[in-house]
Structure 1
Amino acid sequence: MGMGNGRIELWRRCRAVVDRLELPDPFDAESFIASLAEQRGRPIELIPLPFRPDRPCGLLVTTLRADVIIYSSDTTAMHRRHILLHEAAHLLRGHDGGAASAIGPSVLLPHLSPALIKSVLGRTVYSEPQEREAELIASLIHHRVAQDRSSCARARAPRPRVATMFGLREA
């Protein structure tokens, strides 16, 4: 199988995941993650932390009682949404962090005992298949939300002509 086929297969797999999702309307990542937690029957906690250069923008920590998404609090709304969707995509696909990442859980979550932490899945290198998959799923969710919004807007009202958009009378 050539490299192109691998990318096509990745696209198809991710597209199928996103097509099956029920997205809240109006969309926001926090509501989406709350409904994901409900469907999975397992809490997902969101913890905003100030960005530090030695820390990834987003991190998924699996504990015995909940999944925890840690994300940069001091970033744009769009970037925050992407980080949250990327980490949620790991949960959607059932990615397992396996061994704890190079950033120790105690650095990020000093209040959690290491025994409670099952795995830490941090954003590391995009060449890893799971990272590519999570990144693509997050991007496809953004795309679907944008498409849904524009199709709703089109259904509600006819597109105004350029003249009326600028407050000019039509000739």
Structure 2
Amino acid sequence: MDSSQLRAACEQRLALLELPHRFGTQQLREAVAALRGKPIVFRQLPADADSSTPCGIRVETPSADLLFVEQGTSAAHQMHILAHEISHILCNHPGSLALGDGVAESIGFNPTLALRMSGRTTYTTADEREAELLATLIRQRAYRERLHPSPRPARADERWDAIFS
């Protein structure tokens, strides 16, 4: 798939969510959860996670999609990591982390509960490039017509900084 076809496919996936003109993390989470029929749960990676642990991890279980994000990075980077992991969900990617890699245990998750896992590390695969492009489109739509996202949005539904509440 060439880059224009990939972009068109990502834009179609984003359009399926029927998000408002500008939206926040909660609205994105609710739209994806409604599409999937199960909740999206945000969690921070443990501060003592192994240095080989990806900065973002998606764990799909039968009852929820869990998204883990590195604590020690900026809020803007955390938001992009979340958008990237949500993109894996929207694209129905099979996952790139083997359950035996020790990653599930390092985040305190029982690997027998996971259907599939992916981790945000590099962009050498088609799935990672697709997730990264869709994450970029999500963030562009979230901040549409704004030069810079406000650190203190006027409306609660525009917030992207209170993701772990």
TM above 0.5: yes
Counterpart position of 1:128: 125
8 Å CA contact 1:29, 1:84 repeated in 2: no
* Larger RCO of the pair (alpha carbons < 8 Å, separation 6+): 2
Question: What is the root-mean-square deviation of aligned Cα atoms in Å?
Answer: 2.4
Q: Distance in 2 between matches of 1:60 and 1:93?
A: 13
Q: Secondary structure at the match of 1:125?
A: coil
TM-score, structure 2 normalization: 0.74
Report the Cα offset of residue 125 of structure 1: 2.6
Q: Does 1:27 align with 2:23?
A: yes
The verdict on how the C-alpha distance between 1:104 and 1:145 changes in structure 2, with shifts beyond 3 A counting, is: closer
In the alignment, which residue of structure 2 is the partner of 1:159?
Answer: none
Identify the match of residue 42 of structure 2 among 24, 27, 46: 46
Figure out how many residues of one structure are paired with residues of the other and give that number.
Answer: 144
Q: 2-side partners of 1:53 and 1:43: how far apart?
A: 29
Aligned partners of 1:24 and 1:32 also within 8 Å: no
Aligned to 2:2: 6
- Offset at 1:27? 2.6
Gaps spanning 5+ residues in structure 1: where? 151-171
SS where residue 22 of structure 1 aligns?
A: coil
Amino acid at match of 1:117: A
CA distance in 2, matches of 1:146, 1:41: 26
Q: 1:98 to 1:80 in 2, by over 3 A?
A: closer
Partner secondary structure for residue 147 of structure 1: coil
Mapped to 2, the partners of 1:77 and 1:25 lie a distance apart of: 22
Cα deviation digits, residues 4-50 of structure 1 (max 9, x gap)? x6122112211222234333565322431133113321122111123
Quote the Cα distance in structure 2 between the aligned partners of 1:99 and 1:19: 28
Structure 1 length as normaliser, TM-score?
0.72
CA distance in 1, matches of 2:35, 2:15: 16
| Percent of matched pairs sharing the same residue | 35
In structure 1, C-alpha distance between the alignment counterparts of 2:145 and 2:103, rounded to whole Å: 40
Larger Rg: 1 or 2? 1
